[in-house]
Amino acid sequence: MKLSTCLTIIFFGAASLICNAQTTIQLSAVDNGKNPVISKYIYSHFAEHLGHGIYGGFYVGDTSKIPNTNGVRNDVIAALRKMKIPALRWPGGCFADTYHWKDGIGPKDKRPEMVNRWWGGVTEDNSFGTHEFLNMCELLGTEPYLAGNIGSGTVQELSDWVQYVSSDSKNPMSELRKQNGRDKSWKVGFWGVGNEAWGCGGNMTPEYYANEFRKYSTFMANGGDGKMFRVASGASDDDYNWTETLMKNIPHGLVEGVALHHYAIIDWGKKGPSTNFTEKQYFQIMQSAMRMEELVTKHSAIMDKYDPGKKIALVVDEWGGWYDVEPSTNPGFLYQQNTIRDAMIAGVTLNIFNNHSERVRMANLAQCVNVLQAVILTDNAKMILTPTYHVMEMYNVHQDATLIPLTVKTDDYTLGTDKLPAISASASKDKDGVVHISLVNIDPNKAKQVTVNLGDIKSTHITGRILTSQKLQDYNSFTEPDKIKPEPFKDAILKNGAINITMPAASVIVLALN
């Protein structure tokens, strides 16, 4: 019997156990004609009228003492612009199928109030509506993704919304927009036709929803002047029959994307804490997060049957970790802290999306500010960036770059008799010829030796960044906002067409080669 040898090493003051098992990653050739491009829209986000996601998160109003531009926080604008957020989904989520857009236009003192029945039963005053959102997207340099109401709305209502935001020809809706202070349209391209139609969007059957989609999509297509990308409300997790039914029953000329929702969660009844979790709970969450590989693969295979040319995108427009809310907060506000565990979820999930970019062409992390796996948390005038933010910012080098296929032979992260692949990776080549490789070691106890064989890729210079911390449970707080942040990684050795690195336990590394 051959025994493995181990030693203890120190990274950023934290001890890690490293064994002689080695991960090998083999990069394939870069073929700009055949390899898919990693759509930048994979790195999109989601903002729902939920808790303090909009009010106090993005929007404080133009009379606030917090520095703002037309009511939108300047610190949030700056942070999201640095992260390069390609598209932002709004106004929901479950909220979307109770939202009537005309309630959120015109003078604010004349806008009717409503009760947000899904998220805390709070009063929604509609002070943040269509103009506020679309103007905010312009500030962020991001494209809007509007989720239309087909649960409690009408075909006419959604058709009117399309005209209101996208039409410059003379018609009642464009004239109404001009009366409300916006002469030129915003040319909104991305549209969700309902949300979670199998659940809070109407508890529909897939057959019924497919017919509803056909009807709504037909009238939406005639409403705007710009190119429209219509996303069908897709499956929850492994409801493969839902995807099959939509692909079989919706004509391809009416749909550009089919959605999928999957959250990393332990149990819907008892989700576990966001910070004081055990290693068993960590393992369970990572097991759930890594199931995204299976879900994307199987839903894509169904889509391939009906769309072999891959013209219709798989749009994972809700994903992320979901835990119990923070103590003493409104359970309907879904406010949770964000630890190194969330960095692991983000890194692994984005690697999956990158590697499936021939079909996955948009994804939206849930959610952007103060809700679920947020990239930003706010507390009055204070703002912090979470570990998830830093992973998304580190990974933005993959946006619109050409995928480099790779194979990973990794040892496992084991807990008892259970095991998961320890190392996750994806790679791309950008328009300037720079190759980026993103690596995640989910093992919280052991550093990993990794060899990346570059194949035909020639490189003489390598740089890197790393995100890690002493414990899985570490997080950025309002008293210690920079506890976790990317640091330069200088320990990658490039020699003879290969890279050798030692990845600390629970770490994310992004390398750049040129």
Catalytic residues: 196, 318
Q: How far apart are CA 506 and CA 441, in angstroms?
A: 5
Per the CB < 8 A criterion, the answer to whether 239 and 181 are in contact is no
Angle at 315 (CA atoms; ends 174, 352), nearest 5 degrees = 145
Cβ neighbour number for residue 305 with a 10 Å cutoff = 10
Sign of CA pseudo-dihedral 10, 11, 15, 18: negative
The structure tokens listed for 437 are: 């490789």
Q: How far apart are CA 136 and CA 192, in angstroms?
A: 19
419-430: buried (b, 16+ CB within 10 Å) or exposed (e) per residue? Answer: ebbbbbbbbbbb
Q: Which residue has the tokens 């496992």?
A: 412
The structure tokens listed for 477 are: 């707080």
Give the pairing of strands 6-11 and 402-403.
Answer: unpaired
Read off φ and ψ for residue 343, nearest 5 degrees: -65, -35
Q: How far apart are CA 179 and CA 334, in angstroms?
A: 37
Read off φ and ψ for residue 333, nearest 5 degrees: -95, -10
333-342: buried (b, 16+ CB within 10 Å) or exposed (e) per residue? Answer: bbbbbbbbbb
The structure tokens listed for 255 are: 């749909």
Alpha helix segments (H runs only) across 265-398: 279-290, 292-306, 340-355, 387-395
3-class SS letters over 444-470 = CCEEEEEEEECCCCCCCCEEEEEECCC
Q: How far apart are CA 310 and CA 306, in angstroms?
A: 9
Burial of 16 (0-12, 13-18, 19+ CB in 10 A): buried
Q: How far apart are CA 380 and CA 56, in angstroms?
A: 7
Give the contacts of 227 (CB within 8 A, at least 6 positions apart): 189
DSSP conformation letters of 269-292: S----SSS--HHHHHHHHHHHHTH
Give the contacts of 255 (CB within 8 A, at least 6 positions apart): 213, 217, 230, 231, 232, 246, 312
DSSP conformation letters of 21-71: EEEEEEE----TTTSPB--GGGGEEE--SSTTSTBTTTB--TT-SS-EETT
